[in-house]
Chains A and B, each alone.
Chain A
Amino acid sequence: NAGVTQTPKFQVLKTGQSMTLQCAQDMNHEYMSWYRQDPGMGLRLIHYSVGAGITDQGEVPNGYNVSRSTTEDFPLRLLSAAPSQTSVYFCASRRHTGTLGTEAFFGQGTRLTVV
């Protein structure tokens, strides 16, 4: 019963490098999302997807790309890392119910430092 699995747990990047944060869920959830968590700012939505082949921008999408080729996986790509992207990143998934709410399950987070 894995739930939402994020890798890696920690990463240090140099400015300008690119990388992909992986997220996988085994609950057959349609809705997946990526958040970043910064001190005093709560969680801010980066990108989200309501199903395979569909993605959309959240509150802070610049500098990030996503794709959703399968229901299970929702990778987040940093195209050219900047120090402002130093943060803790969380992936979450939930059943897609339109405007009705359902519990979101979160991964353990990826702590990214860009130097």
Chain B
Amino acid sequence: GEDVEQSLFLSVREGDSSVINCTYTDSSSTYLYWYKQEPGAGLQLLTYIFSNMDMKQDQRLTVLLNKKDKHLSLRIADTQTGDSAIYFCAGNFGNEKLTFGTGTRLTIIP
């Protein structure tokens, strides 16, 4: 089956860049997603990348996809306190179901 892995925690100083990493075992995903979950809330789609792309930029967010290494990353430039949340990567690996990583809790240090 599909396996999606993330580090559980990341701490970053306010104003620095945050890089959240994700690795997966199944290369058949059509899309790969990043979701953000703020405390007490559901998941909100941040951005996604189509599997035939290497990079996607959207304002402060940059998604990098290395298909050879099956590695996905999310870079948040100029990290702010409002970026504190849990970030999930997910993919639909050859089927309709979304498989999620464990989530990375991003903490911002003032």
Contact = CB atoms under 8 A, between A and B. Distances in A.
B92 interface: yes
A103 B32 CA distance: 10
Contact of A42 (B29, B44, B48, B102): B102
A96 B91 CA distance: 15
Say what secondary structure dominates the interface of chain B. strand
Contacts, number: 67
B101 A42 contact: yes
B8 interface: yes
B38 to A, nearest CB: 11
Interface of A: 4, 31, 33, 35, 40-45, 48, 50, 58, 90, 92, 96-101, 103-104, 106-109
Interface of B: 4, 6, 8, 29-31, 33, 35, 40-45, 48, 88, 91-92, 94-103
B45 A103 contact: yes
Contact of B96 (A40, A50, A106): A50
A110 to B, nearest CB: 10
A33 B30 contact: no
A99 B30 contact: yes
Nearest to A50: B96
B8 to A, nearest CB: 6
15 contacts: A42-B103, A43-B43, A44-B100, A96-B96, A99-B30, A100-B31, A101-B31, A101-B33, A103-B45, A104-B43, A104-B45, A104-B98, A106-B43, A106-B44, A108-B40
B92 A42 contact: no
